Amino acid sequence: MARSAILNVMVQAAMKAGRSLSRDFGEVQNLQVSMKGPGDYVSQADRKAEEILFTELSKARPGYAFLMEERGLIEGDDGQHRWIVDPLDGTTNFLHGIPLFAISIALERQGQIVAGVVYNPAMDELYTAERGGGAFMNDRRLRVAGRTKLIDTVIGCGVPHLGRGQHGNFLVELRNVMAEVSGVRRLGSASLDLAYVAAGRMDGFWETGLSAWDVAAGILLIREAGGFISDFAGGQNMLDGGSIVVGNEIIQRALLKTVRKPVAPR
């Protein structure tokens, strides 16, 4: 596949940060770890990867703004472009030696995501997408799965942990979905969940309580792989609203209806 200059910048930054994460993943027991909140960790590895990404992306496009998980919003002189970056999506997995974590980089231009990269260095899986150019994993073209009945599907989800989210609401959603599908999976990294749906590995995904850096790159992967996506209200406020439901056209619609319906009384 031919990549644009800007996507090459994003890929090279992700690969460099990925090498740093891979080294730290092999020495995870030696990392300094602190808590941002209940069940919410940040490690020395997160900070090093974010510094690499900030440096590489700033060097390539000095005027662009940033929205980063650890540094927050950094204004730029450009006014049209913003990097949305998660240096380590799946920190808890990373700290427990589970190789399901990723670097997520999206480029937003005038409010629209135009390029995205999700990279899992533990498995050396690089997911890329450009608006209008398709989605790829290690240069293989991606397409969402074609199943049309919920009963045949495997659906991903996010599970709210200690101090996060509406646990009761999630249990209602899960009970509704469990009754309709072949299987439910929880990977622990929203960016990888979205990449897996784009690759056809899972048929759909839903989660609430997300931040823009969790989903920005994945949103473009889904769209460029032929998938459909909305927030829980059926709109397109995924970056700011924190909720997301994805799948192919039929499964996304059915999944949205399923997670939103109340539990029938027993």
State phi, psi for 41 to the nearest 5 degrees.
Answer: -105, 150
What is the number of structural domains in the chain?
2
Task: Give the CATH number of the domain where residue 255 resides.
Answer: 3.40.190.80
Question: What's the Rg (C-alpha) of the chain?
Answer: 18
β 183-185/112-120 pair status? unpaired
Residue 39: its pLDDT value, please?
45
Does 10 lie in the same domain as 137?
A: yes
Residue 265 is assigned to a structural domain of this protein: no
Residue 35 is assigned to a structural domain of this protein: yes
Residue 266 is assigned to a structural domain of this protein: no
Does 129 lie in the same domain as 154?
A: no
Residue 42: its pLDDT value, please?
57
- The answer to whether the CB of 24 falls within 8 A of the CB of 44 is yes
Query: How far is Cα 67 from Cα 212, in angstroms, rounded to an integer?
Result: 8
Residue 70 banded pLDDT, cuts 50, 70, 90: confident
Does 182 lie in the same domain as 132?
A: no
Tell me how many helices (H) and strands (E) the chain has.
Answer: 8, 15
Residue 29: its pLDDT value, please?
66
Token code pair at residue 183: 């299987």
Does 177 lie in the same domain as 246?
A: yes
Does 62 lie in the same domain as 34?
A: yes
**Quick one: what percent of the chain has pLDDT higher than 90?**
79
Does 128 lie in the same domain as 103?
A: yes
Residue 212 is assigned to a structural domain of this protein: yes
Residue 266: its pLDDT value, please?
47
In the predicted model, what is the mean pLDDT of residues 4-24?
96
Does 75 lie in the same domain as 157?
A: no
Query: How far is Cα 84 from Cα 238, in angstroms, rounded to an integer?
Result: 13
**Which of 22-26, 79-83, 200-204, 207-211 shows the lowest per-residue confidence on average (mean pLDDT)?**
22-26
In the DSSP assignment, the letter for residue 29 is G
Residue 44: its pLDDT value, please?
81
Does 68 lie in the same domain as 32?
A: yes
Query: Is 249 assigned to a binding site?
Result: no
Residue-averaged pLDDT of the chain: 92
Residue 17 is assigned to a structural domain of this protein: yes
Query: Is 124 assigned to a binding site?
Result: no
Query: Is 139 assigned to a binding site?
Result: no
How confident is the model over 116-169, as pLDDT tens digits? 999 999 999 999 999 999 999 998 999 999 999 999 999 999 998 776 667 888
Single pTM value for the model? 0.93
Task: Give the CATH number of the domain where residue 28 resides.
Answer: 3.30.540.10
Residue 228 is assigned to a structural domain of this protein: yes
Does 156 lie in the same domain as 130?
A: no
Sign (positive or negative) of CA dihedral 86, 218, 65, 237: negative
Does 131 lie in the same domain as 10?
A: yes
Does 135 lie in the same domain as 196?
A: no
Angle at CA of residue 91, ends 88 and 95, nearest 5°: 130
Residue 175 banded pLDDT, cuts 50, 70, 90: very high
Residue 264 is assigned to a structural domain of this protein: no
Quick one: which of 7, 230, 195, 186 has its CA closest to 93?
186
Query: Is 88 assigned to a binding site?
Result: yes
For residue 156, the enclosing domain spans 150-259
Residue 186 is assigned to a structural domain of this protein: yes
Query: How far is Cα 97 from Cα 102, in angstroms, rounded to an integer?
Result: 13
| pLDDT reading at 255 higher than 70 | yes
User: Which helix H or strand E contains 221, and what residues bound it?
Assistant: helix 212-224
Select from 83, 111, 141 the last residue of a domain.
141
Select from 110, 141, 172 the last residue of a domain.
141
CA distances from 43 to 2, 60, 74, 101, 179 (A): 35, 26, 21, 13, 38
Does 156 lie in the same domain as 233?
A: yes
Token code pair at residue 100: 């399901």
Residue 79: its pLDDT value, please?
87
User: Which helix H or strand E contains 12, and what residues bound it?
Assistant: helix 5-25
Query: How far is Cα 234 from Cα 104, in angstroms, rounded to an integer?
Result: 24
**Quick one: what percent of the chain has pLDDT higher than 70?**
91
β 112-120/102-109 pair status? antiparallel
Residue 93 banded pLDDT, cuts 50, 70, 90: very high
